Amino acid sequence: MKTAVVGHLEVVEFARVEHVPRPGEIIHVRESWREPAGGGAVAAVRISELTDEAIFFTAFGDDELGHRAEAKLREADMRIECVYRDEPQRRGFTFLDDDGERTISVIGRKLAPHGDDPLPWNELDDTGGVYFTGGDPAALRQARRARVLVASARELATLKEAAVELDVLIQSGSDAGERYEPGDLDPPPRMVVTTEGRGGGQFVAGDHEGRWEAAPLPGPPVDAYGAGDSFAAALALALGDGRTTDDALAFAARCAAYALTVRGAFDGRFRLS
């Protein structure tokens, strides 16, 4: 069954450093590269690695960088359904330090699909899972056509305005920018998933509560970029395929563990020169 991502991307410059520079400090970058990344792109590529029916609904800036980013992402085994906005492609800069942490700055307005964009929204009628990382409220209502709708608490303002029932809301247990409180959404999400990094996480679905454990890493840890969105994408895929909650969370944890062993978003596979 198809799995889709409705959301955004940035073209990100990655810089491998010993540590994030302190105010006034000059440090040397050991390695750098640039590739299309951001939450929506990460999720879409991860899903394309797990299924041959991945669709990415998104928007690019109508400049050279935006067109190059689309062409590069099309090298992944997925469909891209997109529009172009008459503004620059959003960019980002990410430090990757020796502790495996990522520190991100973004440049420009977040570009994402709108519900009235000329995109094949009707295909979501027979889609299993959708992960929503960005868009206007109308785009979120279009995403609700899928069997399972998963969204990030990063988009809480849009989720409030759209007023649709989410199957899963994912929040971070450590990031205040990804936090949900009961009563924030009407209707409330059917399940709230709280990620806790190396501690695994917990979920609440009505009267049912539970936990999952972080999965063992399949290789040496590299950095944390994209781990959260990889988790969410895999959860949307698994629940959309009809897996149980426990099985889906365990599957998502394995995908997040894999992302922790990859350099940057995609290990430089979609480099932009």
- How many domains is the chain built from? 1
- Residue numbers of the domain that contains 199: 2-259
Q: Is residue 270 part of a domain?
A: no
pLDDT digits (tens, 9 = 90+) for 207-255: 899 999 999 999 999 999 999 999 999 999 999 999 999 999 999 999 9
Percent of the chain residues topping a pLDDT of 70 = 99
Res 207: pLDDT: 86
**Mean pLDDT of the chain, nearest integer:** 95
Q: Is residue 235 part of a domain?
A: yes
Q: Which residues of 158-195 are buried (b: 16+ CB within 10 A; e: fewer)?
A: bbeebebebbbbbbbeeeeebebeeeebeeebebbbbb
Res 102: pLDDT: 92
Res 137: pLDDT: 98
Q: Is residue 268 part of a domain?
A: no
Over its C-alpha atoms, the chain yields an Rg (Å, rounded) of 18
Q: Is residue 75 part of a domain?
A: yes
Sheet of 192-195, strands arranged across? 79-85, 54-61, 2-6, 127-132, 148-152, 168-172, 192-195, 201-205, 208-212
Res 173: pLDDT: 74
Q: Is residue 156 part of a domain?
A: yes
Greater confidence (77 vs 193) lies with 193
> In the structure, what pLDDT confidence band is assigned to residue 273 with cuts at 50, 70 and 90?
low
Q: Is residue 265 part of a domain?
A: no
Q: Is residue 269 part of a domain?
A: no
pLDDT digits (tens, 9 = 90+) for 168-222: 999 987 776 778 888 999 999 999 999 998 899 999 998 899 999 999 999 999 9
Res 213: pLDDT: 95
CATH of the domain at 44: 3.40.1190.20
pLDDT digits (tens, 9 = 90+) for 118-146: 999 999 999 999 999 999 999 999 999 99
pLDDT digits (tens, 9 = 90+) for 92-117: 999 999 988 999 999 999 999 999 99
Q: Is residue 264 part of a domain?
A: no
Q: Which residues contact 22 (CB under 8 A, 6 or more apart)?
A: none
| Distance between CA atoms of residues 2 and 221, nearest Å | 31
- Listed residue (198, 201, 238, 233) closest to 217, CA to CA: 198
Mean local confidence (pLDDT), 77-104: 95
Res 37: pLDDT: 96
Res 198: pLDDT: 87
